[in-house]
Amino acid sequence: MEKSPPLVSPTPEYDYSISSDQIKLVRNALQSNNDKVVRDLIAGLHAADVADIIEQLPHAQRIHFVDLLRPDFDPEILVALDEYIRDEVVHLLTSKELASAITNLQSDDAVAVYDDLDHELQQQVLADISESDRQSLESSLDYEEESAGRLMLREMIVAPDIWTIGQVIDSFESTEDLPEELSQVFIVDEKNYPIGSVPLSRLLQLPRRTRIDSIMDRDLKIIPVSMSQEDLAFYFQQYSLTAVPVVEAGGQLMGMITASQMISVIQAETEKDLMGLGRVSEPTLAKPVVELSLKRLRWLIVTFINTLLASSVIAHFEVEIQKIVALAVLMPIVASMGGNSGMQAVTVTVCALAQRDLRSGQIFHAVYKEIGISLINSFILASLLSCSVTFIYKDGVLGFVLGAALMFNMIWAGLAGTLFPVILDRLGFDPAIGSGPLLTTTTDVLGFLAFLGLATIFLF
């Protein structure tokens, strides 16, 4: 019997992103100086993928590869590159090429690339661009780093409230370089204050003679240029925003920020918390080893001091440990369980703070819940541990002392794991960075102290 052909056509194959095999092919072609093959391999590739290739090449091949890209260098490649590698690539371009790349970028990307250049390159670029581009670049840099003013797009459509839909649509024709993510037109009053927005789809659905202010949405979330990107990220999430108007101190409309711009910002902001909890400063291995080492060493020294403190606590009990060595065997359990359960509380609290879920009224509620969780979990683990130790060492008092110290330390960890991030946040420090070291220092010190102290009282 012959097989009938399948009724459903097979799923078409789509290209998603560059594979490590493709990158290897490019490297091999570069190694054998086969420029034509390299060009064929990267033809039609997205700028972000070309940037990935550049990042993974050794220095010499990188120079060669950038040379091949040079005739029509896609400026988007600069945007997609890791900062550290970008710094190398911009020095491979002439200042004319760099100036033309920056001029051809959307205003937000141009600012980001220009801002990372060293002073000398910035001066060279400024000499090679038009007066208006120069002004727009320099005025963006007047705003603080990671503020709405730096992020905003200047390319947008703004319409006075007295216009009709027809007039708004006609103004599109005279505007070049509109961003692809444009989904809203902002409406301003005679003072250039934003007072409403109209989705483009609505412009297309209604008659041309309709007054624009009769169909605009009035519940705008207006963002001042000084707002931090952290706050912006919160508002985009909280209100599911698509685009917001950005205004300068006087209230005049200056630019807009869109959801697609916020994706990388939100990624960066959440990653900051992740890095803070993991006690590293940057999520990159692109820099030289020595530089990376020193950045991490700062954090390790904090841990180091922490462990020295804990050791000095243990040193106070040398006599007791010499008499009952089991104390040395069991003491790391108390410290370690306290540290781990405390980090659970820290993690949940840091997330809640990032999402503004911990308003002042809620903090007592959170502390109360964390203490409840600690009570239940420490009781279960302490019971298990007390029974096992009593059985193994045939010493009920030792079992009791260990269980009691464990419960004490885990309840402290729940309390401190909630309060430390909240307090740091109130004092203006980053709760993700400071809480971990503070917490583990106290859970180590208090853990050893509670266990060895109780043991001294009850066993000697």
Residue 96 Cβ vs a second copy, minimum distance, rounded to whole Å: 26
- Least Å distance, CB 211 to a second copy, is 18
DSSP 296-313: HHHHHHHHHHHHHHHHHH
165 vs 454 by CB, closer to a second copy: 165
In angstroms, what is the minimal distance from the CB of 377 to a second copy? 5
Question: Looking at this protein, which amino acid is placed at residue 264?
Answer: S
CA distance 26 to 53: 8
Q: Which is closer to a second copy, CB of 164 or CB of 184?
A: 184
Q: How far apart are CA 417 and CA 337, in angstroms?
A: 13
Cα distance between residue 295 and residue 285, in whole Å:
12
Residue closer to a second copy (CB basis): 23 or 126: 23
Q: What is the CA radius of gyration of the chain?
A: 30
Q: Nearer Cβ to a second copy, position 130 or 284?
A: 284
Q: Is 428 exposed, middle or buried, given 0-12, 13-18 or 19+ CB atoms closer than 10 A?
A: exposed
CB of 431: closest distance to a second copy in angstroms?
13
Contacts of 456 by beta carbon, 8 Å cutoff, 6+ apart: 317, 320
- CA-nearest of 132, 136, 138, 180 to 156 is 180
CB 440 within 8 A of CB 341: no
Nearest distance in Å: CB 41, a second copy: 15
Q: Which structure tokens are listed for 382?
A: 């302490």
- Residue 95: CB minimum distance to a second copy, A: 26
Question: Toward a second copy, which CB reaches closer, 120 or 460?
Answer: 460
The answer to whether the Cα torsion of 72, 77, 79, 83 is positive or negative is negative
Residue 54 vs 129, nearer CB to a second copy: 54
